[in-house]
Amino acid sequence: MSFAQHDVTPSFFEPNYNFQPPKSMKNPSFATVLVLLFFNFLNSTAFPSKALKVESATVFFEGAQMISTANVNLLKGENTLILTNVAGNLEQQSITVKTSKGVLLKYVTFKNDYLGEEITAPRLKELVDSIESLSWEQTLLKDKIANCDLQLSIIEANKEIKNKNVGFSAIDFQKMLEIASAKFEIIRSNKSKLELLSKKNMDLISKLKNQLNQEKKKNATPKGVLELQLLSEKSTNCELEVSYFIFDAGWEPSYDFLVNDITKPAVLYYKGMIHQSSGVDWYNISLKLSTGNPEIGLSVPELQPWNLFIRDKMQAMQKSGDPDGIDPSIAFLPPVIKKDEEVRVDSADGVDPSGDTKKKEIASLNNNVQVRKTGINMLFEVDLPYTIVADGQGHLVTIKNYDVPATYRYFAVPKLDNDVFVQARIPNWASFNLLSAQANIYYEGIYMGQVDIELNKATDTLDLSVGRDKGVIVKRERTKKYRSDRTLGNTATEADAYQVSITNTRKEKINLVFIDQIPVSNDKEIKIEVGDFGGSLLEENSGKLTWNLDLQPGEVKKMSFNYSVKFPKGKTIENLSD
């Protein structure tokens, strides 16, 4: 016995010493005998237990490192106890236990707690409460329907009154029948309404039960327990800190990018979608998000010999049964990365728990988030407490927000789309600790959609499309199209000319990139002659025309370009139409 009595929290490891089988068990079955043996086993192996409190979690893209604490009273000498509220699917080799000074950890053993209390996620509780409420309503509806049936049966029985000598006059008898008939119709109508409501109620209960079964599948991970044996120099109060890695957790980054005014900086909200189904709920814990991944291993890959074979010789060796005949498809084998198989046990002086006693003044989101770069990984330390229940669902956490000094330019490709697109240009984007992820775009207070931020394609400046702007109007028109066949020679010519007008109806100056094109030829018999290309930049290999324009508020600019295509007379040119 190692704990003072008031420090012991019952668990399934602690037996009910007053357990008595029902008196009806005069001839116990085989299953009953097994149950009694199970309780006897618990009586012989029970130890005091203590529930761990989850203090913090470092969540990786895949997996999480959890830290929990417990305060226990120990007697001098050996103390064996059970720690509950432990995640189920954990990496046993990652378990680390820290103790107070003067306390030595002799061993730690992990077990799954299949008989422990089930996780009650808020969604599960909501479904259970709804089903119970509707079931009670269904009982009341059945009683009301039964009451209607009783009233109808009484009225039916009274219809036989005309066959009895009761001394009623014909007028009284007629009035009684009219009253009974009217009452009969009212009751039947009420019964029909009640039956319809009952059917809808039962359908809803059935749907809720199906949803409850689905939600229970998401919360099927059992909890675990840790059995510890501690050696204490004296009777003392000991602070335990337990750390371990779990697989059933992870996070992915996302962003909200808000452009409220192109004359002012944009706002970038850095968010993380966190999920965990470890079997243990995280209530008001300190949260850290890491870009690392402990599951991929740390060993440096080692190249093996790259052997080459002549196929015919190799096949001949295989047919002859030569053991040296090696399949070249397996000639290069990557090294096997083994995980550490040792359970680490640490003993430290005074663990300072960061639970309810840790008080922090919350000023703003940014004041409670620190970003640290650890080697090639980033760690976001969020000091605000968060609750992430073990339901396997995504929980969105706002990590940090930045004022982004972006510049803006407009893009128009009217050959493909008449709208003008706005692009935010973010210089020095690496200073915002961005990751490749999806961003929700808001432009002037309106949700515009989602874009992918792909940093592997970004240069020093990150270009981000933020929406379509109806305040800039682009109109593209064909002004000339003709075809002529020369009487001398065998050459036909087709020419086109276009005019584009751009109107800036906004109240501020804008920069606009206008893009169009002329055809290019990959056939020496097709000749492209460029006429006036309106002061644009021409890329000869692609035929791309680019104008970089500055437009003042209310300004209208017009550009024009033309070209001609020469080809053998009588031939049909594919893809010539605009």
Report, as an integer, the average pLDDT of 190-205: 89
Has residue 465 been placed in a domain? yes
Quote the CA–CA distance of 70 and 87 in Å, as a whole number: 15
Residues 244 and 104 in one domain: yes
Has residue 398 been placed in a domain? no
Residues 161 and 236 in one domain: no
543: left (phi over 0), alpha (psi -120 to 50) or beta: left
Quote the CA–CA distance of 67 and 58 in Å, as a whole number: 9
> Pick from 175, 193, 218: which residue ends a domain?
218
Q: Which two tokens stand for residue 169?
A: 């006059």
| Contact criterion met (CB below 8 Å) for 464 and 453 | yes
> Pick from 218, 253, 270: which residue ends a domain?
218
Q: Is the pLDDT of residue 547 over 80?
A: yes
Per-residue pLDDT band at 371 (split at 50, 70, 90): low
Has residue 397 been placed in a domain? no
At what angle are helices 122-158 and 170-218 packed, to 10 degrees?
Answer: 160
Residues 2 and 41 in one domain: yes
Percent above pLDDT 90 for the chain:
30
Q: Is the pLDDT of residue 251 over 90?
A: yes
Residues 430 and 549 in one domain: yes
Q: Exposed, middle or buried: residue 81 (CB in 10 Å: 0-12, 13-18, 19+)?
A: buried
Has residue 399 been placed in a domain? no
Residues whose CB falls within 8 Å of the CB of residue 108, separated by 6 or more in sequence, listed in order: 95, 97, 226, 227, 228, 343, 345
Quote the CA–CA distance of 494 and 521 in Å, as a whole number: 14
Q: Exposed, middle or buried: residue 195 (CB in 10 Å: 0-12, 13-18, 19+)?
A: middle
With CA atoms as reference, report the closest residue to 260 among 453, 397, 448. Answer: 448
What integer pLDDT is reported at residue 89 of this predicted model?
Answer: 84
What letter represents residue 291's amino acid?
A: T
Q: Which secondary-structure segment (H or E) carries 92?
A: strand 90-98
Q: The domain containing residue 147 runs over which residues?
A: 122-218
Has residue 396 been placed in a domain? no
| Model pLDDT for residues 322-337, shown as the tens digit of each residue | 545 444 443 333 444 3
Per-residue pLDDT band at 550 (split at 50, 70, 90): very high
Residues 182 and 99 in one domain: no
With CA atoms as reference, report the closest residue to 400 among 427, 434, 441, 428. Answer: 434
Pairing of strands 53-59, 64-74: antiparallel
What letter represents residue 537's amino acid?
A: L
Report, as an integer, the average pLDDT of 177-188: 77
523: left (phi over 0), alpha (psi -120 to 50) or beta: beta
Residues 70 and 165 in one domain: no
Residues 211 and 284 in one domain: no
Count how many residues are written for the chain: 578
Domain count, the chain: 4
Residues 317 and 437 in one domain: no
3-state helix, strand, coil in the chain (%, to 5): 25, 40, 35
Q: Which stretches within 46-85 are classed as H helix?
A: none
Residues 479 and 542 in one domain: yes
Has residue 199 been placed in a domain? yes
Residues 197 and 262 in one domain: no
Q: Which two tokens stand for residue 378?
A: 């980033």
Residues 39 and 86 in one domain: yes
Has residue 453 been placed in a domain? yes
Cα 162 from chain centre: 74
Has residue 359 been placed in a domain? yes
What integer pLDDT is reported at residue 76 of this predicted model?
Answer: 93
Mean pLDDT check: name the lowest of 102-106, 118-122, 174-178, 504-508: 118-122
CATH code for the domain of 195: 1.10.287
Mean pLDDT check: name the lowest of 142-156, 351-365, 403-417: 351-365
Residues 209 and 181 in one domain: yes
The count of other CB atoms within 10 Å of the CB of residue 97 is 21
